[in-house]
Structure 1
Amino acid sequence: MAGPPQRVEHIVEAALSCGVRSCEQATGGRVAQTYLLELDSGPGRAVCKLGGPSVRTGDVIEPLVLELVTETTEIVAPSVLASGLVRENGSTTRWALYEFLDGSPPTPFPSLGDDCSRILRDAGAMLGELHATHAFDRTGGLARNGDDLVVERPAGVWIPEQGRRLAEHAGCDTEDWQPVLTHGDLFPGNLLVDDGATAVLDWGNAHVTTAGYALARAEMRFVDWFWPSLSAATREQLRHELREGYRRYRPLPPDYETLGTAYKLLWLGQSAERLARHVTTSRGRAQLRRHLRSLL
């Protein structure tokens, strides 16, 4: 392991009153600069993130989201040890120190066999608990208002409105169209599995959407994404496991069975639109480069 950047050392000393014994920069981070730290006292190990703005609002919201999730649900996720601002060379960067969790991502996912079913149940249960616990009055991205989270309606988040129109056209009951908190980037690479327990990482793109769309998107990322490697029977079994996990906490969204496939297509469309926006800005291009490196 290499020595830590000076500002990381300063953050740890000020926030945790200890030093950094060793530091390794994570290579899989897409947005934030992420460092895995071994400390000379205190919690022993920690994760430091610098930056990491939401793709929807541009605010660094992960510390606030994780405090909310870990305080109000049983979802396994890193606790926030400390967070704040660091000023350097005339610029200001948000930072956070998180609990270090043991485990490894369940990848390559299709090769895990029977473990895929358990992981799908865990992922579905996580979404179900999140949706059952946190409801909002409108959809949108999450932004900071001091130490509080607020819902904003940035350009490009058009899926919920389009979904509502589709549901009404299909004759679905939209009276229970309750916006809910969702992870925002739930896929195998953002899970951590250790001794049968599944933790959920990287909450920096959490936002508020509708439950049916969030569940369909999770099915796309965990099942349909791997169709070349999974038989039709296996894909159907994994879909069943995801839904059964979700049902531990709440019924399936009333529009899900009718519009699940349409929501997946809408997600692909919005992803393409976001990609097109990213290539027009230097920050967006940097995010894309980090994403490509994480995939490779």
Structure 2
Amino acid sequence: MTPIEPPEETNSFSVDDLKHIFERCNLDLVRYERIDEGVNTLFTVETGPDSQLVVVKAFTCSGAPGDVTTEVLLYRQMAAHTSIPVPTVIATNPSPVRCSPWAVLQKVPGENLDADTDRLPLEVLNRLYYEAGAYLGELHATFEFDSFGNVAAEGDALISDGSSSTWADMFNAILAPRLAGISSGRFSAFRPGVEQFLERTRYVLDDVDLPVLVHDDYRLGNMLVDPFVPSAPITAILDWESAFVGHHEYDLAIAEYMMIEQQFDDPRDESLRNRLRTRLYDGYSDRYSLTEDARAETRRHVYRVARILQHMCAFPVVWDGHSRARRAQEAEVLERHLQNALDAVY
């Protein structure tokens, strides 16, 4: 799968900072290990005397105090108002003097199976995708807002900052840098066709209302699964730093793209993709109602195009250092996915 381009790191965080945090929290630091995942700085830490495992997240990329406060509140609101599994927040400091903002989180048991789904039998994949859909539907059903925009903290409540008067305005703001990002380089030939597609389909965004909280990066890579339990349950849904107040169909469409079309890209997997798509949508619709009409189906493809453009913009950074053959292979996958989405709307 093509990860999202990491933002530029703007803050620092050292091992000395890690040790200082544990001193301030009156926790014994027994041992630590850097986690090479995500866009921020992560450590797994064993604390004494009971050998409890925690995760320290230093917000070295998304480090504004308001961002940190909001993400921590998101975890706490999920735990308080939903059955969505998230880590418990043990301690946090959104504006420390000596280092990046940070949070200490419970270490949740489970594994990231993003690149290892072949370990799971079909019946477990069926259940996993149903459960993932149900949690996403529950998210959208639980947190509704009066306006579209960035999600923010107001005391103990999540609010929308109302930065966009309509969903169409917000979606166009999301698209603008992605279109600019493919104006030159490997994928530039696609821009005219994409712009024609978006102009032809813009009408389907006009009647969108009901702003909800969207995760915006809902995929297997941001989930922990316990493969040692026969049902392989989802034990945590992570990385809420991209969340905003948007359209529920957008979140579902990009989740479908990343969890199905990207995850099982082999043309021979068509039957599996169809089965898992059905399970994802079954779980979702059990928690939140779906609109099934021609406009909704067109929006689904529009939203897929938006996410593929994001992956195309990230391509030079994500695949830098790989062989020419591997880069060509991954570029061909994105080009095929984009063309399929463009061709799906006549």
Query: Do the two structures share a fold, i.e. TM-score over 0.5?
Result: yes
Aligned to 2:303: 263
Matched, 1:6 2:19: no
Q: Give the Cα–Cα distance (whole angstroms) in 1 for the partners of residues 268 and 88 of structure 2.
A: 35
Matched, 1:108 2:140: no
Q: CA deviation at 1:161?
A: 9.1
Rate the CA distance shift 1:54–1:268 in 2: closer, same or farther, 3 A: farther
Provide, for residues 128-177 of structure 1, a one-character-per-residue CA deviation record: whole Å limited to 9, x for no partner. Answer: 000000011222233456776443438x9525998x9988835x9947x2
Q: CA deviation at 1:69?
A: 1.1
Rate the CA distance shift 1:130–1:19 in 2: closer, same or farther, 3 A: same
Question: Normalized per residue, which structure has more helix?
Answer: 2
Rate the CA distance shift 1:189–1:50 in 2: closer, same or farther, 3 A: same
Aligned to 1:200: 237
Aligned to 2:273: 235
Q: CA deviation at 1:229?
A: 6.4
1:93 to 100, 110, 114: 100
Q: Give the Cα–Cα distance (whole angstroms) in 2 for the partners of residues 262 and 80 of structure 1.
A: 36
CA contact (8 A) 1:18 1:42 kept: no
Work out the number of aligned pairs and report it.
269
Matched, 1:251 2:289: yes
CA contact (8 A) 1:131 1:181 kept: yes
Aligned to 1:118: 127
Matched, 1:35 2:39: no
Task: Look up the SS of the partner of 2:100 in the other structure.
Answer: strand
CA contact (8 A) 2:145 2:159 kept: no
Q: Give the Cα–Cα distance (whole angstroms) in 1 for the partners of residues 200 and 245 of structure 2.
A: 19
Q: Give the Cα–Cα distance (whole angstroms) in 2 for the partners of residues 201 and 87 of structure 1.
A: 27
Aligned to 1:187: 219
Q: Which moved more, 1:59-68 or 1:76-85?
A: 59-68
Question: Normalized per residue, which structure has more strand?
Answer: 1
Partner AA of 2:279 in structure 1: E
Rate the CA distance shift 1:269–1:108 in 2: closer, same or farther, 3 A: closer
Rate the CA distance shift 1:105–1:270 in 2: closer, same or farther, 3 A: closer
Partner AA of 2:110 in structure 1: G
Gaps of 5+ in 2: 1-13, 176-197, 323-346
CA contact (8 A) 1:52 1:204 kept: no
Rate the CA distance shift 1:266–1:58 in 2: closer, same or farther, 3 A: farther
Provide, for residues 204-256 of structure 1, a one-character-per-residue CA deviation record: whole Å limited to 9, x for no partner. Answer: 21111101111001000000113226521111111101001102212224554
Rate the CA distance shift 1:54–1:236 in 2: closer, same or farther, 3 A: farther
Q: Give the Cα–Cα distance (whole angstroms) in 1 for the partners of residues 64 and 251 of structure 2.
A: 15
Gaps of 5+ in 1: 280-284
CA contact (8 A) 1:21 1:37 kept: yes
Q: Give the Cα–Cα distance (whole angstroms) in 2 for the partners of residues 122 and 76 of structure 1.
A: 11
Task: Look up the SS of the partner of 1:192 in the other structure.
Answer: strand
Q: Name the larger-Rg structure.
A: 2
Q: TM-score, normalised by structure 1?
A: 0.77
2:141 to 110, 132, 152: 132
Q: Give the Cα–Cα distance (whole angstroms) in 2 for the partners of residues 46 and 201 of structure 1.
A: 14
CA contact (8 A) 2:140 2:213 kept: yes
Q: How much identity, in percent, do the aligned residues show?
A: 28
Matched, 1:66 2:102: no
CA contact (8 A) 2:46 2:53 kept: yes
Matched, 1:169 2:192: no
Task: Look up the SS of the partner of 2:56 in the other structure.
Answer: strand
Q: Give the Cα–Cα distance (whole angstroms) in 2 for the partners of residues 23 and 141 of structure 1.
A: 34
Task: Look up the SS of the partner of 1:141 in the other structure.
Answer: strand
Q: Give the Cα–Cα distance (whole angstroms) in 1 for the partners of residues 141 and 116 of structure 2.
A: 27
CA contact (8 A) 1:167 1:173 kept: no
Rate the CA distance shift 1:166–1:237 in 2: closer, same or farther, 3 A: farther
Task: Look up the SS of the partner of 1:137 in the other structure.
Answer: coil
Rate the CA distance shift 1:133–1:149 in 2: closer, same or farther, 3 A: closer
Q: CA deviation at 1:270?
A: 4.7
Aligned to 1:216: 253
Rate the CA distance shift 1:39–1:161 in 2: closer, same or farther, 3 A: closer
Question: RMSD value over aligned CA atoms?
Answer: 3.5
CA contact (8 A) 2:146 2:160 kept: no
